Structure 1
Amino acid sequence: MEDQVKLEQKDRLGYIILNRPEKRNALNAAMVKGIQGALDAFEQNNTVKVVIIKAEGKVFCSGADLEDIKKMQTNTYEENLLDSQLLKALFYRLYSFPKLVIAQVQGHALAGGCGLVSVCDFVYAAPHAKFGYTEVKIGFVPAMVLVFLLRKLGEGKAKELLLGGELIEASRAAAVGLVNGVVEPEDLDQKVQELANHLVEHNSGSSMALTKEMIGKVQEMSLEDALDYAAQMNARARASEDCKKGIAAFLEKKKIQW
């Protein structure tokens, strides 16, 4: 059977490709583990600076494989908890991954698939792509993504999407802040690649990693603790090789080679 997740590398860009189009790229345990394995590979690959998640077929990801969930309804609570922790671990891994992650959404991203998009750093979508957390319509709950969506959009917009359960167009997803840009299908691949290459060429990898780490952590802190943490990170960054290199190049009016 062909791998459900494919890996590709183009220069300094790593691609994670969902490859289960006959099942609308529905997430099962094998696919979740495949994405984790791909992240392992790209985290250890020092030449890869930005990771792009895309998909084969017409649908980006339809969410959890409902046939698998139906089979699990006879499981014990402990067995179901163990399975749900796989998705929890994946979402947290993407949210805290030390390299930037871009979702390239060529088709619908629904339920858990929309959750997958929500934890990426940037999201670009085709105009016809629809987004939605439809779990409440089938008696399920958008449990894991809820934690991240509150951070991303705030309580008001999160409630609208999670409790309403309706599908929204890509333009609406961009308006609420779920999507960064809407791009015609024929230009989507080029747009995402251009953005990724811009990040690779113009930004320090260590600076982006530290900034992403801080964004995740300061939201859990009091104002005073957050500022203390920020001061520590500021001091730490000044001593980094990238900062020394960047400031020296700026003062010498030389182009920085990241």
Structure 2
Amino acid sequence: MDLITFSKSERIAYITINRPDKRNALSLELVKLLANAFKEAINDANVKVIVLKANGEVFSAGADLEYLQQLQQNTDVENFTDTYTLKELFLTIYRSPKLVIAQVEGHAIAGGCGLTSVCDVVFAVPEAKFGYTEVKIGFVPALVSCFLIRKLGEGRVKELLLSGELIDAKTASSYGLVNFIIEKDGIASAVESYAKKIVEGASSNSITVTKQLLTSIQDLSLEEGLNLAIGLNVQTRSSADCKKGIAAFLSKTKLDW
């Protein structure tokens, strides 16, 4: 059985984790396949939005028993390779020039929760639970901490990472981990509707440049961030998309992006 499935429809790419028998645990092979699928979607000019979802009752439970047993035998080189591969996947998703939506229809735990943390927008069912449980097995949620502290701030991240406790979707929403909570029978159509709105109503170039700005300014001083913003502003104003958008606005015509 394929560990992931990949499909496209109406400029939306759907990447689906397909390891339900293992609660969609993140093996090294699965992480590599996910990274390749995201790169394929990113490099496809006909794709504008990427949706990450999973088959089965669990979005992803992080590491499985087989992986944890293997960790005890790994050399430092093997552990480096394994961790580096996951880092590359997280960065690929986080830096994607296209909007990435997580469709979470089950628990997202440890590395599985890390996956949702690097997506741009998260839809979840009310029953889903979220958490970074690494500390409960003597591990460290190292990679995800780098992204999560940008998203939630130090205080909230300490609460989540140091306790390892699971939180429900409502709490995750109040923390900023989840954007929309939708009942299971409606989440697929809600995600599709949201993605189509982006496809039809937003400039691809504007999405790319805005994401570039938002992922960069947190590493810069205020002055450096403002200078970057000026450069991107100038660049965008002379783009074909901006000229097209302003012309349509002035003539009161509907744009098909």
Is this a same-fold pair by TM over 0.5?
A: yes
The letter for the 1-side match of 2:112 is: G
- In structure 1, list runs of 5 or more residues that go unmatched: none
The letter for the 2-side match of 1:175 is: S
Check whether the contact 2:39–2:92 (CA below 8 A) recurs between aligned residues: no
- Return the alpha-carbon distance in structure 1 between the equivalents of residues 104 and 65 of structure 2: 21
Counterpart for residue 123 of structure 1 = 122
Q: Secondary structure at the match of 1:46?
A: coil
Once the 2 structures are TM-superposed, how far is the Cα of residue 67 of structure 1 from its aligned partner?
Answer: 1.5
Matches within 5 A, 1:4-153: 4-153=3-152
Deviations 1:116-136 (A, max 9, x none): 000000001000000000000
Counterpart for residue 171 of structure 2 = 172
- Return the alpha-carbon distance in structure 2 between the equivalents of residues 147 and 19 of structure 1: 27
- Return the alpha-carbon distance in structure 2 between the equivalents of residues 49 and 5 of structure 1: 20
- Return the alpha-carbon distance in structure 1 between the equivalents of residues 207 and 30 of structure 2: 28
Deviations 1:12-47 (A, max 9, x none): 110000000000000001111111111122122111
- Return the alpha-carbon distance in structure 2 between the equivalents of residues 200 and 159 of structure 1: 36
- Return the alpha-carbon distance in structure 2 between the equivalents of residues 6 and 77 of structure 1: 32
- Return the alpha-carbon distance in structure 2 between the equivalents of residues 250 and 108 of structure 1: 43
- Return the alpha-carbon distance in structure 2 between the equivalents of residues 80 and 64 of structure 1: 14
The letter for the 2-side match of 1:104 is: Q
The letter for the 2-side match of 1:134 is: T
- Return the alpha-carbon distance in structure 2 between the equivalents of residues 149 and 253 of structure 1: 41
- In structure 2, list runs of 5 or more residues that go unmatched: none
Counterpart for residue 194 of structure 1 = 193
Backbone CA RMSD of aligned residues: 0.8
- Return the alpha-carbon distance in structure 2 between the equivalents of residues 70 and 81 of structure 1: 17
Counterpart for residue 212 of structure 1 = 211
Deviations 1:37-59 (A, max 9, x none): 11122122111100000100000
Q: Secondary structure at the match of 2:51?
A: strand
Deviations 1:151-178 (A, max 9, x none): 0000011111111110000000001000
Check whether the contact 2:13–2:41 (CA below 8 A) recurs between aligned residues: yes
- Return the alpha-carbon distance in structure 2 between the equivalents of residues 209 and 63 of structure 1: 29
